[in-house]
Structure 1
């Protein structure tokens, strides 16, 4: 605990010095950060040349000088046009990891970390990194069997630096949200919590290794993708050994053409692979920028860098499917209902106004030609509508939005008239067909049956309670004479629900039996009569459920 506080104090001194250097003394005064510093601390103030720059340029330069944690935080906001001014977005998009190469003995680090003699496993290891970033450095090597690999080695002490930075950032976020409604409205504390989770996942190479293995399982047997091989026996939480992918950036049209490949076909393949990750696997690459998608000479696409991945459980994936379906169908009312289910929290003061705003948004889409649609602008405008209603969506949705913007940008570079919304439609058809599949109907039917069973369990007690109160005269004491009609209506509704439930259960069971019939006419693998039975029973179940959940009036 004391060590963390010392690190925090050291980083706070650095933070104050840099903020003062770039002319942000007022923020320090308002946040009272200087009170955390030693009494003998002093600074020279901002230099005149720094003050001559715009505030957004100074923010970007301060973030770069503060180091990897702050740079990555700025990069995370660089796609949030819905929250930040355009001028600031432009500066944040310029953020680069300006980190000096750390001198280290690679073989010695391998021996220390993995407890092996590198010469027993590696034919050669390059002493100098071919890539250097804020969290790690990457070296080329060759295994004894001749395979080319890369060694991703974590920087010394980087976890401690990030941990100290996060402590300070949390303190600053609390001060900013207490000081400004703007920071409260953009859910700064929640955004910071999501960022903290993401950066610590990226710091764990064991987590990245697990992501690579899961990604490979999901795409097993798919011919259009090259799956990067990992070497778990030569990896731990600080070193990751993986196959070297000899390819070019997916946006390098000249190189792609030199391979004898069609850039537009490559773009379509890359888009399809990403949509499959999102809509079918529910596990997707969260940072698909051009440097992380390589095209090999055989035309296959390789995704690299699995430190940051988006993940959805089955229920979240179903909600996303419904969201996309209602969005493409431009059904504002159903879209709002799904948004409420997806949101972590929301504060919609005027739902009618929200519905109107979404309709206006759809009108804007309809008035724009397919070639002119800017996905980045569309998502930004829609996010602005959510922000105005204080709707906080789950982390995976923001990662998905960023991923779609990046993928769409790659596609546009290779296919100028690409329209990603049109590309989504075949997947919507797939989703609809899957929902009508025998297996899905069986699962949906069982869920519905469980819901109805639970409702039927409580129904006799409810009816018995009402009748007992009538016989005992309680309701006569509580209700006036006109209240008797309400009681009659209640009993009538209960009886109607019981009849509907019995009818629905009979239809469902009968349909389930018909599924086993061998010679019955079939549609999509399901006997036609069974299909009608399932559909009618599902409709009855939905009606019953809505009726049961609606307050009696």
Structure 2
């Protein structure tokens, strides 16, 4: 009870913080709101600070910084979508990506000494001040005694407790949203918060991040010009992660990118293919691809850092995703609709033809268009209306994929406003489809079917033995059903059940 009241109080504090910064229903967008929202906005601004920044994005960024790391993550996603929220608003939010206030250098050194068991001076030949600070951790540049330049990531003090409080508050907010706004239930707000909570818990154990970096490095090897820095395992622990230093220009600073003389359009294409290539080919992808986590080298390679949030997608979901994308890319909306139904994304009560028509209404106006020709805010609104019309529910396992797709496209657009995501995605999707649905994919399917059959057959004797034992107990009267059946029928039912189990086991191997 006390914990719930505390969460409710923090929820009210979050609302008041947004009001104080004029970050909820900001004045700049007053003319776009319906009448009730305009009235609510005017009342809220009576309590706003008078010294607020002119940029509404900057005001929201400062409010989110005060609220905590979980809220900052939400702002980081918005910051990548200048085409949706407006470039001015996005610029104000961009401070959340890697320019948050750093914690004290002495604290960082104390954490490193406690984690690695020796003073910083004994571990590194050089150790500089924080060069980047985000909501979860900050990064220092250092050099090992062997002369290797490294990036040392250090968790913020007490970050685990802060995130736990944030998640309890967000969970309460999600529960209230489902109760007070029934229309929100289709978006599964509580499951969404649970997904975010799980990802944030992974971010607070840097050993898991080190493993994720290693795994993503293997996946990235299949994507041209996509690179992941090597982990220094002996200099990493739960609260410390050390990787090789990346020389390059952050994509959050386009002036530095231009200073290297790089082709922005090529970088945007690499970014799109890096995301889709690792997601489809290996089922793993960097799930926090904001501009502050991406660097361009002088050679034109794209480097990713910060692996606290990793996305994973199973092979069945990858196949459905590829079929859906392929349907859009080839303008075969019926095939894309069938893939939605086969995946269970759309209830069977709807007609495939109707859903295909709805997908056509979204796809045709934007097919082949450049990014600067597509009003993404309108597209998103239309997609939201379609999901409502066809009773589509949010799929928690795809939350990270959808969130990262939004981030990735937003960064690609900032690099090249004319970026054609369709053209960039086509080779990746077609290559994956050829492997998945061609001879190689069929051989893999057959191999997996044989493996499932083998497992089922291994369990079949145990199932028969169990049912035989039940039959013996029923026959002896040790075990009775209610109402008690006749002995002959008991034996028949037992063996019928055995046959059903055996049949099910065999069929499951090929399902």
Calculate the TM-score normalised by the size of structure 1. Answer: 0.65
Q: In the alignment, what sits opposite 1:390?
A: 391
Secondary structure class of the residue paired with 2:93: coil
Q: In the alignment, what sits opposite 2:162?
A: 161
Q: In the alignment, what sits opposite 1:112?
A: 114
**Cα distance 1:343–1:310, how it changes in 2: closer, same or farther (>3 A)?**
farther
Aligned: 1:123 with 2:125:
yes
Moved more, 312-321 or 443-452: 443-452
Secondary structure class of the residue paired with 1:102: coil
Aligned: 1:267 with 2:268:
yes
Give the alignment's Cα RMSD to 1 decimal: 4.2
Residues 66-94 of structure 1: CA distance to partner in whole angstroms, max 9, x if unpaired?
2222232454567799xxx969x958973
1:221 Cα deviation from its structure 2 partner: 7.9
Higher CA-based Rg:
1
1:303 Cα deviation from its structure 2 partner: 1.0
CA contact (8 A) 1:205 1:237 kept: yes
CA contact (8 A) 2:278 2:285 kept: yes
**Cα distance 1:192–1:74, how it changes in 2: closer, same or farther (>3 A)?**
farther
Q: In the alignment, what sits opposite 1:335?
A: 336
Secondary structure class of the residue paired with 1:101: coil
Distance in 1 between the 2:272 and 2:304 partners? 12
Say which of 42, 46, 49 aligns to 1:48: 46
- Superposed, 1:54-203 pairs within 5 Å as 62-76=63-77, 90=89, 94=93, 97=96, 100-103=101-104, 104-126=106-128, 128-203=129-204
Distance in 2 between the 1:368 and 1:145 partners? 51
By relative contact order (CA 8 Å, sep 6+), the higher-ranking structure is 2
1:115 Cα deviation from its structure 2 partner: 2.0
Secondary structure class of the residue paired with 1:236: coil
Secondary structure class of the residue paired with 2:199: helix
1:413 Cα deviation from its structure 2 partner: 4.1
Residues 478-501 of structure 1: CA distance to partner in whole angstroms, max 9, x if unpaired?
xxxxxxxxxxxxxxxxxxxxxxxx
- Superposed, 1:310-329 pairs within 5 Å as 310-329=311-330
1:213 Cα deviation from its structure 2 partner: 0.4
- Superposed, 1:249-260 pairs within 5 Å as 249-250=250-251, 255-256=256-257, 258-260=259-261
CA contact (8 A) 1:209 1:230 kept: yes
Residues 430-480 of structure 1: CA distance to partner in whole angstroms, max 9, x if unpaired?
2343246443333345678999999xxxxxxxxxxxxxxxxxxxxxxxxxx
1:191 Cα deviation from its structure 2 partner: 1.7
The gaps in structure 1 that reach 5 residues or longer are 25-44, 455-544
1:149 Cα deviation from its structure 2 partner: 1.2
**Cα distance 1:16–1:260, how it changes in 2: closer, same or farther (>3 A)?**
closer
Q: In the alignment, what sits opposite 2:474?
A: none
Aligned residues: 428
Moved more, 291-300 or 217-226: 217-226
Secondary structure class of the residue paired with 1:50: coil
